[in-house]
Structure 1
Amino acid sequence: MTSTQQGSGFAPDPTIDLQGSPNLIGPKLPIPHLGIQPDAHKPWWYIAGVMLGQIGIFIALMGPATVSLQLKAGVLASTPAEQASITAIAVAPGAIAALIFNALGGRISDRTTGGLGRRRPWIIAGVVMMSLGLLIIAIAPSAVVMAIGWFLAQATANMAFASFTASLADQLPANQYGKVSGLVGIAQNLAVLGATWLATAFTANMLALFMVPAAIAIVLVTVYALMIPEPVLVKNKHPFNLVELVTTFWRNPIKFPDFGLAWGGRFMIILASYLFTTFRILYMENHLGLDTQSATLAVATGVTIYTATSMVASLVAGWVSDVLGRRKILVAVSILIFGIATYLLLHADTVSAFYMVEAVMGLAYGMYIAVDLALVLEVLPNREEAGKDLGVFNMANALPQSFAPALGGFLLANLGGGTDFTALLVTALIAAVIGAVLTMFIRGVK
């Protein structure tokens, strides 16, 4: 249904431009009607654009999150414990920025007026400003400056990501949720893989380490932004005031319990994941005894294995969830398997054993990411405010990213002396078990 067809079944809305803002790349697609779920399949080239956008954002963000920040911290530190502390100091403020600006960005994009549409301006501007934050990290002389750069990068990237995710709710019909969710999961893992190998290539060059992924992100994300047909608001029916600001960060879990339970499940698996990935280089150096160069190469190889198994799991799980119409059991089982695999890292005493655990983690996370987005899109409280609701949901990504470095840094530095990962990985297992249980209580989705 296009905005030019509002007379057929829709009351005319003077706040919506009847023409909209067409996509500038590819054959013209229908302009979605605000608040109404589309029913027409999106073509393959649009889905390819979705994957490009996901790869672009994540290749620039996940490189620092998984490897690059730890390598930069290693340049500034003199001991393993100091490296862990610097990593925690640098990462935690950025995750707080992600918490705030993902939700805020979604709400602002819901309310944005202008001829380019609601989502497109924020997608492009956000990724450009993210690159500036990464530049600050690359040249940072201290942990404090690193933290400032990561805060800016996370704030602006999450503005872009909130609009990107909301655009999927605007554009996709329900019967493409599972398949696209699976492909988005594959794109995310390809981005992590690419970022990790780029880190391996540029270990000794801090500027290239951060700015090469940033340049790739600007190109890919801009391409996606130009492929989406956008509704255009000519007037904002809901002025952005103090009440709007406060409610941006909240959706009542009592009134919308399924949304709240899905939020809790996402929080727990991200917490379990980041308790390990934030300190992955340290694990390789201090648990397996590798030097920095070997540790970086082993992590890159492990991520390659993780990505390969995750891609297979994403394709199969997304297809199965659409065919069977079942989401939550796949999500719950995948979270549980991921937690068990995290715990098994304690018993990985060789690089080969580490690779085996990475394969299991990849299968679990691939299954999870393929189905979780489809599940969330089905439990959105208000489709007209999809940006706000998905922003609130994505706080379940940002909060544990903020909490995990602080908690993990404490557990590792104080209970593990910088080298014993027992407390860290047992905590990750407990978080995953809780997430699996919460997901099974969702009622509105099979």
Structure 2
Amino acid sequence: MSTPPQAPELALAGDPTPDVPAGLGRLGPVLGAANLSLLLPYNAAGTLVQALLEQWDEHTKLSHYAILTTSGAVAAMVANIGFGVLSDRTRSRWGRRNPWILGGSLGTAIAGCALSFTHSFPVLVLLWIAMQIGLNAVIGPLAALLPDRVAQRNLGRASAWIGIGSLLALTIGGAGAGLLVAAPAAGLRWIFWLMPLGGLLIWLAAPDRSSAALAREPFTVRKLLQTALPPRDADYLWALLGRLLTGLGLNLVLVYQLYILTDYLNLSTSHAGSVIAVAGALTAVTAGIGIATAGPLSDRLGRRKIFVVSAAAAAAVSVLPLVIVPSLGAFFTFVVVAGLGYGCYVAVDQVVMAEVLPDGEHRAKDLGILNIANTMPQVLAPVIAVAVVPGLGYRPLLAISIVLAAAGGLCMLPIRRVT
């Protein structure tokens, strides 16, 4: 009988940094596959919910989507930090991270599936909030697996595997949403059940050692609130701001690509769905090239910032054609250039986030706060869109995205702990 794989050893006193293995082993592919399964449904859900709101009422789709995403993102930010704190404090025979990843993936699937059964906007908002809470029970602990279990010299390769999974989740999710855009309720009903498969994969193929013997500080509400605050560390805060601005710049285009195609480029909804599906395939190719190149190369060179700064610059440049000449050609130029930049970004961004962590005791919480920079754009992008688009159209919105992405790259330059 074969014995189950053993998880990396955890230190049981002092700094809870794990004694990570010298090599990456199969953890990299497992993290890539798990990220694909866990993130694909969410990446499809945004477009599917937009299509659902458009079916309900063409005239309220922008305002309703802004309410939906803002409410969900606020819940996600609180949940990300909260579950990060809980994960850091979890003491169980199954470790600190895996129980939350598995439980959160199941809860997200239930809430996500339920989205397809309602015809009430208030109920839709409540279910979206529940889905976001479940998703962020997964994201914080999942992000902590990288610094927990991977040696620093392998961070780039491990991050590349995560980037490949995230990229495939984005592109396949986008392509699937494009194909299902005419029947959004059917897509929402089934696609979320991919998430528990990712949770099970982590549980079975990347088991954690028992954390029952780890010391834990006594719990008080005051201590919990203090722990939930971001660390007072300049490098950490610059990384947080840079990630926020770059993500917001990209979100202003990606979140509204369906409406940009239908309202800015005047395509029909069915034609726009086909374009989104093709764009997903193109992004998979170009971003895959960026990931395969940037992750291993950053390990070899021992340099991270140049890749993140270059990726932010590519994101900014990619939007220019859409501002100057609104056309399908400009849109696909954006897809190709932004895809390359996105690939470089996701291959190295998580390494930067891991390297700016001030200590090993509160990794999931500190990464949860950094993940606010992934969630906050979901709050801000709809607010900016509702303020700009009705009066000025989509061109100024795209111009704002260029400025934000470029500013995000510049925020990486002052960071000292990352070369």
The answer to whether the 8 Å contact 1:106/1:163 transfers is yes
Q: Report whether the alignment pairs 1:45 with 2:22.
A: no
**8 A Cα contact 2:20 2:149, kept in partner:** no
Give aligned pairs, total: 414
Counterpart residue number, 1:219: 197
CA spacing shift, 1:100–1:248, aligned 2, 3 Å: farther
Deviations 1:38-82 (A, max 9, x none): 3423454322110111111211111123x1121111111133xx2
Q: Give the structure 2 partner of residue 27 of structure 1.
A: 5
SS in 1 for 2:265: coil
* Corresponding residue of 1:127: 105
1:369-380 equivalences under 5 Å are 369-380=346-357
Note the C-alpha offset of 1:168: 2.0
The C-alpha deviation readout for 1:215-237, integer Å capped at 9, x for no partner, is: 11211221122222323333652
Is 1:265 aligned to 2:242, yes or no? Answer: yes
Partner residue, 2:314: 337
Q: Distance in 2 between matches of 1:133 and 1:123?
A: 16
Instruction: Please give the alpha-carbon distance, in whole angstroms, between the structure 2 residues aligned to 1:259 and 1:27.
Output: 34
Moved more, 36-45 or 155-164: 36-45
Change in CA separation of 1:43 and 1:177 when aligned onto 2, cut-off 3 Å: closer
Structure 2: distance between partners of 1:244 and 1:64: 37
The TM-score with structure 1 as length reference comes to 0.88
Show structure 2 runs of 5+ residues with no match: none
Q: What are the Cα deviations for residues 127-159 of structure 1, in whole angstroms up to 9, with x where unaligned? A: 111112212322232332222111111111011
Q: Could you tell me which residue of structure 2 aligns to residue 60 of structure 1?
A: 41
The answer as to 2:277 corresponding to 1:300 is yes
Equivalent pair of 1:179/1:322 in contact (CA under 8 Å): yes
Runs of 5+ consecutive residues of structure 1 not aligned to the other structure: 1-23
Percent of aligned pairs sharing the same letter: 25
Q: Distance in 2 between matches of 1:277 and 1:25?
A: 45
- Between the aligned partners of 1:369 and 1:426, the Cα distance in structure 2 is 23
Name the aligned partner's letter for residue 397 of structure 2: L
Provide the rounded CA distance (Å) in 2 between the counterparts of 1:63 and 1:25: 38
Decide whether the 8 Å contact of 1:32 with 1:171 is kept in 2: no
Asked if the contact 1:37–1:173 (Cα under 8 Å) also holds between the matched residues in 2, the reply is no
Letter in 1 for 2:83: G
Distance 1:25 1:70, change over 3 A: farther
Q: What CA distance in whole angstroms lies between the structure 1 residues aligned with 2:218 and 2:285?
A: 46
User: CA 1:137/1:28 → structure 2, altered by over 3 Å: closer, same or farther?
Assistant: same
Q: Shift of residue 311 of structure 1? A: 0.9
- Aligned amino acid, residue 407 of structure 2: I
Counterpart residue number, 1:421: 394
Instruction: Tell me if structure 2 keeps the 8 A contact 1:52–1:221.
Output: no
Distance 1:196 1:299 in 2: 7
Q: Does 1:430 align with 2:400?
A: no
Decide which moves more: 135-144 or 95-104.
Answer: 135-144
Structure 1 residues 224-283: Cα deviation after superposition (integer angstroms, max 9, x where no partner):
222223233336522332123323432234xx1111111111101111111112211000
Aligned-pair Cα RMSD in Å: 1.9
Q: 1:228 to 1:244 in 2, by over 3 A?
A: farther
Q: Secondary structure at the match of 1:226?
A: helix
State the TM-score, normalized to the length of structure 2.
0.93
